[in-house]
Amino acid sequence: MSSSSQGPSLQILVLHGPNLNLLGQREPNVYGSTSLAEINKQIEEQARTLQVKVSCFQSNHEGALVDAIQAAWGQYQGLLINPAAYTHTSVAIRDAIAAVKLPTVEVHLSNIHQREAFRHHSYIAPIAVGQISGFGYYSYILGLQALVQHLGDRANTPS
């Protein structure tokens, strides 16, 4: 059956936080050599395989990310986010996700639990469905698969 005959597919918002626009050039020993544009292409390819729609957005600004999360309310069914440094600092991003109640998967390229102590704490993890950390750009692919699986399970669970 084609996706069109199954009705509108799931829409997932993919958010990238600060400094991720520099991926490929930025500390490649930590974050890999894949650029953000290439990562977005891989995410879009995976989305086609999973028959979902994705929109990808990067910002270096906390307020812009909060605005994007608020605007996702009613428009998207799930959120895949690498909050980058805001993972460890942003009550505002956490509150925005809690407010819109979008099922959220948090991803990180590096294994944040293996790094400096200040990276071990995430403000987002307690309100996320789960966290995937340490698989390079593949964390996004795993995160998208996990989110789509979670949304499918939720849709099939009788209330």
CB of 5 to ligand DQA, least distance (A): 38
Residue 108 within binding range of ligand DQA, rule CB under 6 A: yes
Residue 34 within binding range of ligand DQA, rule CB under 6 A: no
CB of 137 to ligand DQA, least distance (A): 9
* Of residues 116 and 153, the one with the C-beta less far from ligand DQA: 116
CB of 139 to ligand DQA, least distance (A): 7
How many other C-beta atoms lie within 10 A of the C-beta of residue 75?
11
Residue 110 within binding range of ligand DQA, rule CB under 6 A: yes
Residue 131 within binding range of ligand DQA, rule CB under 6 A: no
How many other C-beta atoms lie within 10 A of the C-beta of residue 24?
15
- Concatenating the DSSP letter of every residue in 49-65 gives HHT-EEEEEE-S-HHHH
From the candidates 31, 76, 86, 123, which is the catalytic residue? 31
Q: Is 85 helix (H, G, I), strand (E, B) or coil?
A: helix
Residue 81 within binding range of ligand DQA, rule CB under 6 A: no
Residue 122 within binding range of ligand DQA, rule CB under 6 A: no
CB of 107 to ligand DQA, least distance (A): 7
Q: From CA 76, how far away is CA 73, in angstroms rounded?
A: 7
CB 18 within 8 A of CB 86: yes
Q: Which of 82, 91, 67, 94 is nearest to 140 (CA)?
A: 82
- Helix, strand, coil abundance in the chain, percent, nearest 5: 50, 15, 35
- Which residue ranges make up the site for ligand DQA (CB under 6 A)? 19, 82, 84-85, 87, 108-110, 112, 119
